[in-house]
A and B are shown apart, each in its own frame.
Chain A
Amino acid sequence: MSFALRRPKMSASAFVWLVLAGLYFLVPLVATFFFSIRSVQTNKCCSFAAYTAVVHNGDFWHTLRVSFVLALEVIVICLVLIVPTVYWVHLKVPKLRPVIGFLALIPFVVPPIVMVVGLLKVYRGAPSWFYDRPSGILAAAYVILAFPYMFFSLDAGFRAIDVHTLTEASQSLGASWPRTLVKVILPNIRAAALAGSFLALAIVMGEFTIANLAQFHTFPIFIQFVGESDPYQASAVTLVSFGITWLAMSSLLFIGRKRGGGATTQIAGAR
C-alpha cells in the first residue's frame, strides 16, 4: 500500500478571505502608484517625473542616509544592551522576565509626544554632541521606542532554544561566557535578533513626532515636507520608503532561511 503526499486543498472560504486581505493591502498601494505617475501638468497618466524629481533631490538621499545611520546605531545599541540582558534573565533570573516584559510595554503606553517633551527637558543641559545631534538624543529616544519590539523578539528567540543546556554544554567543553554567547547562543537566536533589528529599522524609518519636535531632519520629516509641496512626489516617496522596508523584511526572511540550523524566524507582534 502506498501513500501519496498531497498538498492540502484550500477551502473556498479561505480563498475568499485571502483575496479580500490581499486587496485590503494592495489596493491602497496600487492607487498610490497610479497617483504618483500622473503628470503634474496634465494630471493624467503616465509620467515618472515624480520619481525622477525624488531621486534627484539631494534632501532625499541626505535624510535617507541620516535615518539609515540612525537606524543602524539604534539596532547596535539595542542588541548590545538587550541580548546579554535577556540571556542573563533567561539563564539566571527567570523570575525577572515578567518584570522586564512589563517595562517593555511602557513605550506603548507613553505617547511619543509626552516622551520627547520629557526627554528634551531632562537633557537640556547635556553636551551638544548628545543634545544637538540625531545620533545622540534621537537615537536614545528610538532605543526606548524599539525596546519592546527588540525585547519580545529576542525573548521569543531565547524561549525557542534550551538556553541552560546549550550554555552548560558549551562551558563543559571549556568555553568562556563571551565565547558561549558569541559562538553558541547568538547564532541560534539570529533569526529573532534580525526580526527585532528590522522592526527597529522600520520604526526609525517611519517615526515622525519625536524627530519633528526635536527638530531633526530625518527621512519621515522629508516625506512630510514633500507631501506639503507636491502630492505626486509625496506618493512616489511613500512607495520608495515602502519598498525599502519591504526589502529589509525580505532580506530578513532570506537570511533566516539560509541558515543551516533549521531554526524558524520569529517576529514579535508589531504595533
Chain B
Amino acid sequence: MAYLELQGLHRNFGPVKALNGIEVQLGQGEFLSLLGPSGCGKTTALRLVAGFDRPDAGRIVVDGKDVTTVAPAKRDMGMVFQAYSLFPNMTAAQNVEFGLKIRGKAKVDRRKRVSELLELVGLGHAADRFPHQLSGGMQQRVALARALAIEPRVLLLDEPLSALDAKVRVQLREEIRRIQLELGITTLYVTHDQEEALAISDHVAVMSGGVIEQMGTPAEMYTAPATPFVAEFIGTMNRLEATVLDGAAGHVDFAGSRLQVDAARGRRTGERVLILIRPEALELEASTNGAVSGDNMLNGEVIAQTFLGPVTRLKVSGGLIADMSTARAAALPVGARVNARVPAEGAKLLSLPDED
C-alpha cells in the first residue's frame, strides 16, 4: 500500500494550470524525485504536500489519512528549502532544536537529539555557529538536520542544492541519499537537474506543463523514455525522424538511408516514427573514401568537438551527436568525414503524428 498518495491534484494560478491532475503513489521509505524544467509544476506539487498551498481539486493522502486541508504546522512534514532558510537569530543547534521545543520534548532529550543529528550531517563541531558563520553547504546540512529532527512522516526537499557549487552539490546529494536510506524516510525531492535525480532516487517523475510525463526507476527513465519530452530531458538524445519502410523486417527510411531498427518491427508501413539513440550508443568511424561503407551507416562530417573529461562529444553534420573516448576522438578532428553506425538493437522508437 502506498504511503504517500497524490490523487488527481489540480492547481490553477489564474489562467495558468500549474498542476493538471497529477497522480503519485510512493511506498514508505522510498525516494521520489520530481524532475522538470522551470514552471513545470514540480515546486507547486511539493508546496501542496507541505501544506503551504491548497489544491483546487484532488487529495493528498499520507499513511491512509487525507491531509489535504491540514495546516502545514500540523502535517509533520520536514522541509528543506531552495533558499537558505535557517533562522538567522539562532545557532545551528538552536535551529535544529526549534521543532523539538515546539513538540514539548524534555531538554535532555532535545540536546541529545540535536547532537545526534548534527553528527549525522557532519556538523557536530559547528553547533554554536550562527548561520552567517556557515558556508552554503553547511547551512543546507543544518537545514536537513532541522527537518529530520521532528521525525517527519515525509521529508520534502525543494531544490536544496541549486545554490551550491558543483563539488559540494555532488557531495551533499550523496549524503542526503545516505541519510535517507539510513533513516528509511519517505522523501519527495524537487530538482531540475536530471543527473542529480537519476543519481539518488528510487523513482523519478518527469513533469512538463503541470502533468507527469513519465514515472519510473532512473534506469527505466534513461533507457526507455515514454515521450519525446522525457527523452529530451533525461540526458542527450539523437532524434531521427524516420518513416517505416517495412514493419515486418524493421526497416525505416531516414533522410534517404535505409536503416535496420529492431524497435520498428510490427510498426505500420508508412508510419512516421522518432528514433532515439543515446550519444554513447552511436559508433563513429573514419570514412576512408567519404562514402557510406556498410549497413546501418550514416555519413557525415565532424563539425565540432566538445571535451567533457572522460569522453569527448562529437557533433556530426545532419544533427548527430556521438560520445566517444577522448583518445579515439583525437583521430576524428573537425572536418573529418565519418560514418555513424546506428545500433539496430539499442535504438528506441516513438510514434509521430502522421503528416497530412
Contacts and interface: CB of A to CB of B under 8 A. Distances in A.
Interface of A: 161-162, 165-166, 168-176, 179, 183-184, 187-188, 190, 259-263
What 8 pairs across the A-B complex have the smallest Cβ distances? Answer: A173-B99, A187-B89, A261-B88, A172-B79, A169-B85, A261-B89, A262-B132, A174-B102
A190 B88 CA distance: 12
Interface residues of B, number: 34
A168 B47 CA distance: 10
Contact of A173 (B51, B130, B150): B150
Given A168-B52, A172-B72, A173-B102, A262 B147 contact: no
B87 A170 contact: yes
Contacts of B85: 162, 165-166, 168-169
A107 to B, nearest CB: 31
B89 A171 contact: no
A175 B78 CA distance: 12
Query: A interface, by DSSP: helix, strand, loop or mixed?
Result: helix
A261 B98 contact: no
A174 B99 contact: yes
B81 A188 contact: no
B49 to A, nearest CB: 11
A263 B88 contact: yes
Nearest to B129: A260
27 contacts: A161-B88, A162-B83, A165-B84, A165-B85, A168-B50, A168-B52, A168-B79, A169-B87, A171-B72, A171-B73, A172-B73, A172-B75, A172-B79, A173-B73, A173-B78, A173-B99, A173-B102, A173-B146, A173-B150, A174-B74, A174-B76, A175-B73, A175-B98, A261-B89, A262-B88, A262-B130, A262-B132
B103 interface: yes
B206 interface: no
Contacts of B132: 261-262
A261 B102 contact: no
A176 B99 CA distance: 11
A205 to B, nearest CB: 30
Contacts of B52: 168, 171
B79 A188 contact: no
B243 interface: no
B91 interface: yes
Contacts of A172: 50-51, 72-73, 75, 77-79, 147, 156
A260 B89 contact: yes
Contacts of B50: 168, 172
B102 A179 contact: yes
A165 B146 CA distance: 14
Contacts of A173: 73, 78, 98-99, 102, 146-147, 150
Contacts of B102: 173-175, 179
B104 to A, nearest CB: 10
A175 B256 CA distance: 66
B349 to A, nearest CB: 44
Interface of B: 50-52, 71-79, 81, 83-91, 98-99, 102-103, 130-132, 143, 146-147, 150, 156
A174 to B, nearest CB: 4
A184 B88 CA distance: 9
Nearest to A174: B102
Contacts of A261: 88-90, 130-132
A107 B91 CA distance: 41
A175 B51 CA distance: 13
Contacts of B86: 169
Contacts of B89: 184, 187-188, 190, 259-261, 263
Contacts of B146: 169, 173
A188 B91 contact: no
Contacts of A259: 89
Nearest to A179: B102
Nearest to A173: B99
Given A174-B73, A174-B102, A174-B150, A165 B130 contact: no
A165 B131 CA distance: 15
Given A172-B73, A173-B102, A175-B98, 20 more contacts: A161-B88, A165-B81, A165-B84, A166-B87, A168-B79, A168-B81, A168-B85, A169-B87, A170-B98, A172-B50, A173-B98, A173-B99, A174-B76, A174-B150, A183-B98, A184-B87, A188-B88, A260-B91, A263-B88, A263-B89
Contacts of B74: 174
Contacts of A175: 73, 98, 102
Which of A168, A169, A172, A183 has the most chain B CB atoms inside 10 A of its CB? A172
A53 to B, nearest CB: 47
A262 to B, nearest CB: 4
A165 B84 CA distance: 8
A113 to B, nearest CB: 43
A183 B90 CA distance: 10
Contacts of A183: 98
A168 B146 CA distance: 13
A172 B99 CA distance: 9
A243 to B, nearest CB: 32
A173 B77 CA distance: 8
Contacts of B77: 172
Contacts of A262: 88, 130, 132
Nearest to B149: A173
Contacts of A263: 88-89
B157 to A, nearest CB: 12
Contacts of B156: 172
A168 B130 contact: no
Contacts of B91: 260
